[in-house]
A and B are shown apart, each in its own frame.
Chain A
Amino acid sequence: MNRYPIWKYAILVVALLIGVLYTLPNFFGEAPAVQVSSAKATVKVDAAVLQRVEEALRAAGLSPDYVSLEGNSVRARFDTPDNQLKAKDAIQKALIPDPADPAYIVALNLVSRSPTWLSALHAQPMYLGLDLRGGVHFMLQVDMQAALTKKAESYAGDIRTALRDKNIRHGGISRDGQAVEIRVRDEATRTATSNLIADQFTDLQVVVTPDGAEFKLRASIKPEATRRVQEQALKQNITTLHNRINELGVAEPVIQQQGLDRIVVQLPGVQDTAKAKDILGRTATLEVRLVDESTEARAAERGQGAVPFGSERYLERNGQPVIVKKQVILTGENLTDAQPGFDGQTQEPTVNLTLDAKGARIFKDVTRENINKRMAIILFEKGKGEVVTAPVIRSEIGGGRVQISGRMTTMEANDTALLLRAGSLAAPMEIIEEFTIGPSLGADNIARGINSVVWGMLAIAAFMCVYYMLFGVFSSIALGVNVLMLVAVLSMLQATLTLPGIAAMALALGVAIDSNVLINERIREELREGVSPQMAIHAGYERAWATILDSNVTTLIAGLALLAFGSGPVRGFAVVHCIGILTSMFSAVFFSRGLVNFWYGGKKKLKSLSIGQIWKPGADGTTAVKPE
């Protein structure tokens, strides 16, 4: 009866093998590496970059363990930090000719030392949290009210323009909180205005209130549009943050949305919080200027002669110089949105800009006077300008909707729109949480965490072996398998391991042994009642199972509650806690039974079990409770 069919052993062996395989990378430690990733949205890291890195290293006489392209970055691994630093310099020199304008980020990183065949199986070590590897963590709150106010402001301008276009005479338009208020004098105008808003501004809803003989129309943003505005604001802020963090040269930054209005930024390995904060909070500016089309300027563009007075020289992204006038027509403040799109007629990729009312008015005047001339959109960051695009003005552009088209691929249109948007934050942000963990503290935390798990486990295993003899050995092995499975699952999921996570691992083991104690005690009890050894094993496991299930489910309920409502360290705890409960059911019940069956299952005339001394109450002449 205590035999597993062969397939069950097969499952055990396979599970064990997979467990070992995925746990393995955690033992190799980390090696110094140099990571090359793109610093600009328009620059792609591909096989060509890989080749250039390889060449640069060869030229510098450095032999990396390997150089490979992983996702969007090239990584080269080295044996010593010394070579790593040399390699960083060499690669930087080769890839970045102009340090003021880097196209790539060359950062120091640590990569797993595990052999490539393991990496090929996607077996990676656990992802360590900041409290274990050191770094900074920020939580930023996006001011959504400000984003909505900004949006309402731009609607106010748009409505004003639209009414003027249709020759509808209104008695004043103003922004009131996050709504637009329009005063009209008579019934006919009211209907016309309402219809116009219903037609052209589908995201707005209008409430009309009579105000003496006049009417007051209050147009507010619809709830679903509000949600969209907020989502876009958050996304734009994340994009902007991405671009800025790229400059820090962090190997693996984490920038994530959290909840509806928060962004978490984690920069592993960064210690200089001041600089990080400075960069996160900086604002880039966008300027629209006219291109200087004079003969001198044309000559200067070709590199012949000086830049004329009143103009400046900037580079386009492809490196071509453009001479633009110093006078600024519009700034990024007037640009409310930039989206990639397609021209309705030619099906060409386009970038569609939306300007606010003030911007639209200026833009209309400027375009009217400068047909067939070029304008340049320049992005300033760190006081350094770059021409994003310099299109030719074909006609007068009114209404604040600008379409840039021609000679663009879809990819370029996307990138340009991104760059234009990235110039500004959609809404202001505030740092509401910040942690810095020094690298030495991180290393200490790992050592402490591992020490507590190891010593705790040894203490439990020693006791189990003494108290339950062979069954204790089985239980201890099962406990070891539990750790193995837990680490394997965490590595597979690439869940972030934190110090509370290690604590949860220790606690999970402390709780997991409960299942084995329950089983062993049950078996002893059955033996005490005079049941045959084989029967006792069978009954012990079976009877204990219901209890084990019940108690694990209640513990799991607590774990899930923590997972659902916890944040930060509590979540890290909860993830490991829940996974630990699940793996413990596998190891303590299924696996330990497998061991017992393997050892005892085949023995037909089993006289006794090595489960420690069984003391029988009847043996020394007293009576005990017996089942009827």
Chain B
Amino acid sequence: MEFFRIKKDIPFMKHALVFNVISFITFALAVFFLFSRGLHLSVEFTGGTVMEVAYSQPADLAKVRSTVSGLGYGDDVQVQNFGTARDVMIRLPVQKGVSSAQQSEQVIGALKAADPEVTLRRTEFVGPQVGEELVHGGLMALAMVVVGIVIYLAFRFEWKFGVAAIIANLHDVVIILGFFAFFQWEFSLSVLAAVLAVLGYSVNESVVIFDRIREAFRRYRKMTTTEVIDHAITSTMSRTIITHASTEAMVLSMFFFGGPSLHNFALALTIGILFGIYSSVFVAAAIAMWLGVKREDLVKAQRKEGDPNDPNAGAVV
């Protein structure tokens, strides 16, 4: 079986401007939604209490909400289904003077009084100081990924590739965040992990193409830079689609079987993978082109290759 029967290199770079405009518009929209709607941050970041309770019958959310609000929380309480109709998630803000322990006990006590069948599945309390650190840690991690990848790519290829890859993929990150802001999906720690994992993962996509560009520069002496890039993208097309489809199969499996805890994690990965293909293939290469990569940038920096007769050249870690 062979899906991709491409006869000629597809002239992607002719349309580079179009791709960049599309990217820019999506990016601008994402930023707009991030600012206008903001992220729906999980309790891990904001501080507060989350409780998950299970009923034996499908739960009456309105009743649960009124029971909990009656404890003096006013309208700040969020009550929603979580996974199934029988599971309910209750989110309470941090309250001055009441410890987390008392908070969750009060609530479960009140719910038990209303319906003795209810069981507490999970509570989670996070103090406000922890949230600030998480934001700080997240930003530090992001910065380290960006710097680390640019340095590695600059060392292995050329700084232009490093910059191109990171711009392309940071724009993925912003787009994922934009989606989360637009749909007001909950942004939790595991989503943050997914976002950073996507960053590493889609840079890897750009790397595959850059590798091909370098190889094509060496092999096809007469091709122009644009042709080389077109050739690299075309020849990795098959691999790109198959790899991403495989990864996506895994992510979808998490989406469908992983339960509510992995739901948003898988969602972030899905968006990341879809936009990752687009941005690392079209945007990264186009940016590298605008930055003016030349044959001389890569070919003069020819590395010493390992012994070609060593069948195990691949297994050194």
Query: What residues make up the interface of A, taking CB atoms closer than 8 Å to B?
Result: 1-4, 8, 131, 139, 141, 273-274, 277, 430-438, 440-441, 444-445, 448-449, 451-453, 455-457, 459-460, 463-464, 466-467, 499-500, 503-504, 506-507, 509-511, 513-514, 517-518, 521, 524-525, 538, 541-548, 550-562, 564-570, 573-574, 577, 582, 585-586, 589-590, 593, 597, 612-615, 617, 622, 624-625, 627-628
A509 CB → nearest B CB, Å: 6
- Using known A-B contacts A467-B1, A500-B190, A570-B189, determine if residue A557 contacts B312 with beta carbons closer than 8 Å: no
With the chains together, A283 CA to B45 CA distance in Å?
Answer: 31
Whether B123 pairs with A273 at a CB distance below 8 angstroms is yes
**B193 contacts which of A8, A543, A573 (Cβ < 8 Å)?**
A573
- Using known A-B contacts A449-B258, A452-B262, A463-B249, determine if residue A562 contacts B193 with beta carbons closer than 8 Å: yes
With the chains together, A525 CA to B232 CA distance in Å?
Answer: 13
**A431 contacts which of B54, B99, B148 (Cβ < 8 Å)?**
B99
Whether B269 pairs with A557 at a CB distance below 8 angstroms is no
With the chains together, A552 CA to B211 CA distance in Å?
Answer: 13
Q: Which residues of A sit under 8 angstroms from B141, Cβ to Cβ? A: 561-562, 564-566
B222 interface contact, C-beta 8 A = yes
When C-beta atoms are compared, the residue in chain A nearest to B235 turns out to be: A525
Whether B121 pairs with A441 at a CB distance below 8 angstroms is yes
B304 interface contact, C-beta 8 A = no
When C-beta atoms are compared, the residue in chain B nearest to A462 turns out to be: B249
Q: Which of A438, A445, A453, A577 has the most CB of B within 10 A?
A: A438
Whether A463 pairs with B311 at a CB distance below 8 angstroms is no
**B250 contacts which of A460, A500, A574 (Cβ < 8 Å)?**
A460
**B239 contacts which of A131, A444, A521 (Cβ < 8 Å)?**
A521
When C-beta atoms are compared, the residue in chain B nearest to A499 turns out to be: B261
Whether A436 pairs with B123 at a CB distance below 8 angstroms is yes
Q: Which residues of A sit under 8 angstroms from B174, Cβ to Cβ? A: none
B122 interface contact, C-beta 8 A = yes
Whether B130 pairs with A545 at a CB distance below 8 angstroms is no
B207 interface contact, C-beta 8 A = yes
With the chains together, A457 CA to B99 CA distance in Å?
Answer: 45
A463 CB → nearest B CB, Å: 7
- Using known A-B contacts A455-B257, A500-B193, A506-B254, determine if residue A517 contacts B246 with beta carbons closer than 8 Å: yes
**A448 contacts which of B156, B211, B258 (Cβ < 8 Å)?**
B258
Q: Which residues of A sit under 8 angstroms from B236, Cβ to Cβ? A: 521
Whether A593 pairs with B246 at a CB distance below 8 angstroms is no
**A573 contacts which of B101, B140, B190 (Cβ < 8 Å)?**
B190
**A517 contacts which of B156, B189, B242 (Cβ < 8 Å)?**
B242
- Using known A-B contacts A434-B124, A542-B308, A550-B156, determine if residue A460 contacts B246 with beta carbons closer than 8 Å: yes
- Using known A-B contacts A554-B200, A554-B207, determine if residue A452 contacts B311 with beta carbons closer than 8 Å: no
Mask for B195-214, Cβ within 8 A of A = 1, else 0? Answer: 01101110111011001000
With the chains together, A336 CA to B168 CA distance in Å?
Answer: 59
Whether B100 pairs with A445 at a CB distance below 8 angstroms is no
B76 interface contact, C-beta 8 A = no
Nearest first, the 7 closest Cβ-Cβ pairs linking A and B are A558-B200, A510-B250, A456-B253, A432-B127, A551-B204, A456-B250, A510-B247
Q: Which of A8, A141, A455, A467 has the most CB of B within 10 A?
A: A455
B219 interface contact, C-beta 8 A = yes
| Residues of chain B at interface, number, CB under 8 A | 93
B152 CB → nearest A CB, Å: 6
Whether B125 pairs with A551 at a CB distance below 8 angstroms is no
Whether B250 pairs with A509 at a CB distance below 8 angstroms is yes
Q: Can you offer 10 A-B residue contacts whose CB atoms are under 8 A? A: A438-B119, A506-B258, A514-B247, A518-B243, A541-B311, A547-B208, A558-B149, A574-B193, A628-B219, A628-B222
Interface positions of B from 69 to 100, Cβ below 8 Å from A: 99-100
**A615 contacts which of B2, B124, B193 (Cβ < 8 Å)?**
B2
What is the predominant secondary structure among interface residues of chain B facing chain A? Answer: helix
B15 interface contact, C-beta 8 A = no
Whether B2 pairs with A613 at a CB distance below 8 angstroms is yes
A-B contacts counted at CB < 8 A amount to: 294
A530 CB → nearest B CB, Å: 16
Whether A570 pairs with B193 at a CB distance below 8 angstroms is yes
A271 CB → nearest B CB, Å: 8
B116 interface contact, C-beta 8 A = no
Segment of B24-32, B131-139, B294-302 in the binding face: B131-139
Whether A2 pairs with B311 at a CB distance below 8 angstroms is yes
Interface positions of B from 212 to 262, Cβ below 8 Å from A: 215, 219-222, 231, 235-236, 238-239, 242-243, 245-254, 256-259, 261-262
Whether B124 pairs with A593 at a CB distance below 8 angstroms is no
B315 interface contact, C-beta 8 A = yes
With the chains together, A544 CA to B212 CA distance in Å?
Answer: 10
Q: Which residues of B sit under 8 angstroms from A613, Cβ to Cβ? A: 1-2
A15 CB → nearest B CB, Å: 11
With the chains together, A567 CA to B138 CA distance in Å?
Answer: 9
B57 CB → nearest A CB, Å: 17
Segment of B5-13, B59-67, B176-184, B281-289 in the binding face: B5-13
Q: Which of B119, B125, B254, B317 has the most CB of A within 10 A?
A: B254
**B259 contacts which of A4, A431, A444, A541 (Cβ < 8 Å)?**
A444
Q: A514-B246, A567-B134, A568-B189 are in contact. List 20 more A-B contacts (CB 8 A).
A: A273-B123, A433-B125, A440-B54, A449-B262, A456-B252, A463-B249, A466-B1, A517-B239, A538-B311, A542-B313, A555-B200, A561-B142, A561-B148, A562-B141, A562-B196, A564-B144, A565-B138, A566-B193, A567-B133, A613-B2
Whether A555 pairs with B144 at a CB distance below 8 angstroms is no
B285 CB → nearest A CB, Å: 15
Q: Which residues of A sit under 8 angstroms from B308, Cβ to Cβ? A: 542
Q: Which residues of B sit under 8 angstroms from A548, Cβ to Cβ? A: 314
With the chains together, A438 CA to B118 CA distance in Å?
Answer: 13
When C-beta atoms are compared, the residue in chain B nearest to A544 turns out to be: B314
Whether B121 pairs with A8 at a CB distance below 8 angstroms is no
Q: Which residues of A sit under 8 angstroms from B9, Cβ to Cβ? A: 625
Q: Which residues of A sit under 8 angstroms from B197, Cβ to Cβ? A: 504, 507, 555, 558-559, 562, 573, 577
**B2 contacts which of A503, A514, A614 (Cβ < 8 Å)?**
A614
Whether A273 pairs with B104 at a CB distance below 8 angstroms is yes
Q: Which residues of A sit under 8 angstroms from B140, Cβ to Cβ? A: 561, 564-565
Q: Which residues of A sit under 8 angstroms from B36, Cβ to Cβ? A: none
When C-beta atoms are compared, the residue in chain B nearest to A432 turns out to be: B127
When C-beta atoms are compared, the residue in chain A nearest to B312 turns out to be: A8
Q: Which residues of B sit under 8 angstroms from A441, Cβ to Cβ? A: 52, 121-122
When C-beta atoms are compared, the residue in chain A nearest to B214 turns out to be: A546
- Using known A-B contacts A448-B257, A467-B1, determine if residue A431 contacts B100 with beta carbons closer than 8 Å: yes
Q: Which residues of B sit under 8 angstroms from A277, Cβ to Cβ? A: 101
Q: Which of B100, B126, B243 has the most CB of A within 10 A?
A: B243
B134 CB → nearest A CB, Å: 7
